[in-house]
Structure 1
Amino acid sequence: MHSRRDFLQKLTATALSFPLVSGVSTEVFAHSKEVHQNEKVLKVAIMGLGSYANRVADAMKDCKRAKITGVISGTPSKVKDWQTRFNIPDKNCYNYDNFDAIKNNPDIDAVYIITPNAQHHPQTLRVAAAGKHVICEKPMSINAKEGKEMIEACKKAEVHLLIGYRMHFEANTLEIVRMQREGELGKIRFFQGLSGFRIGDPTQWRLNRELAGGGAMMDIGIYAINGSRYMIGEDPFWVTAQEVKTDPVKFKEGVDETITFQLGFPSGAIASCLSTYNMNYLDKFFLNGDNGFAEMQPSTGYGPIRSWTNKGRLDLPHVTHQTTQMEEMAAIILDGKKAVIPVDGEEGWKDMVIIDAIFESLRTGNKVEIKYA
């Protein structure tokens, strides 16, 4: 079975190293390991013990401020395996029926939800009601309405809602965002985001509309949507979109195979993006400004990320994305730290608003105004 995660891992595994361009600040990617003995540690329960959960868990072994202390799964054999690997006591193990009981468990501060997309909304509401912080994988929900309800539930419970945007903490990404924000690229005119791979097993949940909420757009296309926003530094206000489907058996009604879409931004910048489950080796960002450009390829894989600008190569040192993500999210929850690129529920909701607009454009064939309300 081939999944996005298998693809991203293979795509970046053999990337070659290049010298760093001179003069690049290292502040944006420094992964601090200097943690005082008395600093709090975020105690995390992982919900959903699939392949990506295992990647997160392995990366968290190197975390100083985030630790796996519990699990939630519907598969007893997986629970037993994780108990052995991470020394998790029976009292911190739950299934999908009884996990509301985490409310009374001081060993768990937050729950990282890594389940099929359609389950994020109800599970977030339950975790919030239990008084625990929520870290939810992207997409945060299957539509903007559900995303807004998740935000409101977490606000009511006075808990954090963070979305698993690992790229928001990645070194090359942060350096290019810094260059854009500080005007080094001049006025931004254009962004291109290409996100895709050929998906395998036709029976997997990512090709099940009821569980995934769509197809490639919900899985891989969201990278281009989110990337356009943080690379340009604005939120788009219109979209046009076109869909191509070559295999209606594999990609059933409501499960998109390939979508091209265009976004317009208040400054006049435009974005041209592609999301697909039917083309390999599509993992590229390109940002163009009056005074320079930045390019990343791979741009969102598991690393190392490769990048360059009109000034030369960046290729900043690679740190496992999920390690950095969880360290930074612990600091957000425990210390009130502000992320350079937001990872809160509002950030996730805006992507869902855009996805809703893309699907509306496909349905109507019209240019659609994006309304954040």
Structure 2
Amino acid sequence: RKMIRAHDLDAIMISSPHSMHYEQAKYALGQGLHVLVEKPLTISSKHTRSLIRQADKKGKILLVSYQRNFMAPHLYARELIQQGVIGEIRGVVSYVTQNWGGVKGWRLVPELSGGGMFLDTGSHLVASTLWITGLEPLEVSAFLDNVDKDVDINMVVNVRFKGGAYGTLNTFGNAKVHDERIAIHGSEGCIVFHLHQWAVKSVLVNDEPMQIPKRIQENTPDAAFFRMIRNGGKGYELPHFALAVAQVSEAAYKSVEQGKPVKVARI
């Protein structure tokens, strides 16, 4: 707050522990600033919806740093699905692995992080899956293993989506290295992503390598954020998918707590 009051700013980037995002982003938007927030946007669906509404009302850019949503294969996959190339989506299978054995600091403190690997690295996976497919989650059933930590390390999340599709969104934090796959299956075909050690290894469309048009340009959240500010918001979309990410995460933890499937909150 002191920094914002002391300087004539146009925008701000928030890269603090997850539980602090809401209050910091709310204040920045209230001061008329564009805001770039590290994932997740917030740890609460209520707070996420509130920030989206505030950004819309203020006419400010509120962007979440989900890098995969700016990568060329992910951009093109979203376009193919919107065009109906793989037909009606019937199911998705997504997982990400990582070695959380050496993770220290606030990420292991529930009051600061809001959750473990599912809310952290897993947030990228959930965001990519929901943003690419446009699927709307309705109900969640989840299981987790803390592996002797105060936050979740492994988590299996089963989701029922609007329209009849089903899927799994899984995180495994006691693996050796990063590995990530998203398989999207439709009535007319499929798209399968494979990332390993933080790099895209392959993207297959109906078991053939994806051919990305030259017009699809690789980007980053930071570069896109600055470009959107300079061009008056051209190409910007309110991050409604970030609300779906928060809703799934919230329902997943509640499902574990209650030991039963939980319907996704509608606020």
TM-score by length of 2: 0.87
The 1:320–1:206 alpha-carbon spacing in structure 2 relative to 1, beyond 3 Å, is: farther
1:101 partner letter:
R
Query: Aligned letter for 2:193?
Result: M
What pairs with 1:286-365 in structure 2 (closer than 5 Å)?
A: 286-298=183-195, 302-304=198-200, 306-310=202-206, 312-314=208-210, 316=212, 321-322=219-220, 325-333=221-229, 334-339=231-236, 342=237, 344-365=238-259
Larger-gyration structure (1/2): 1
- Give SS of 1:297's match: strand
Q: Partners of 2:248 and 2:222 in 1: how far apart?
A: 26
| 8 Å Cα contact 1:293/1:310 also seen in 2 | yes
AA partner of residue 34 (structure 2): H
What is the CA distance between 1:237 and its match in structure 2?
Answer: 0.8
TM superposition shift of 1:127:
1.5
Contact 1:258 1:276 in 2 (8 A): yes
Partner of 1:101: 5
Instruction: Work out whether residues 72 and 219 of structure 2, in 8 Å CA contact, stay in contact via their aligned partners in 1.
Output: no
SS at match of 1:267: coil
Partner of 1:162, secondary structure, is strand
1:127–1:176 distance in 2 versus 1, CA, 3 Å: same
Q: Is 1:372 matched up with 2:263? A: no
Letter in 1 for 2:247: V
Deviates more, 1:205-214 or 1:225-234: 225-234
Mapped to 2, the partners of 1:152 and 1:257 lie a distance apart of: 32
Equivalent residue, structure 1, for 2:141: 240
Equivalent pair of 2:65/2:222 in contact (CA under 8 Å): no
1-side partners of 2:79 and 2:217: how far apart?
Answer: 19
1:262–1:271 contact (8 Å) kept in structure 2? yes
Tell me which residue corresponds to 1:174: 75
Partner in structure 2 of residue 206 of structure 1 = 107
Q: Secondary structure at the match of 2:120?
A: helix
Is 1:264 the counterpart of 2:160? The answer is yes
SS of residue paired to 2:135? coil
CA-to-aligned-CA distance 1:343-365 (integer Å, 9 cap, x gap) = x3433222112111111111111
SS in 2 for 1:197: strand
Aligned with 1:220 (options 99, 121, 131): 121
What is the identity percentage for the equivalent residue pairs of Structure 1 and Structure 2?
22
Q: Is the Cα–Cα contact under 8 Å of residues 185 and 290 in structure 1 kept in the other structure?
A: yes
In 1: Cα distance, 2:185 partner to 2:241 partner = 23
- CA change 1:314–1:370 in 2 (3 A) is same
Range that drifts further, 138-147 or 311-320: 311-320
Normalising by the residue count of structure 1, what TM-score does the alignment of the two structures yield? 0.64
Which SS does the other structure have where 1:141 is aligned? coil
> Any idea what the Cα deviations from partners look like across 1:150-172, whole Å, max 9, x if unmatched?
33444454422211122222111
Pick which of 306-315 and 186-195 moved more.
Answer: 306-315
Separation in structure 2 between the aligned mates of residue 174 and residue 98 of structure 1, nearest angstrom = 38
Partners of 1:122 and 1:180 lie apart in 2 by 35
**Residue 232 of structure 1: CA displacement?**
2.8
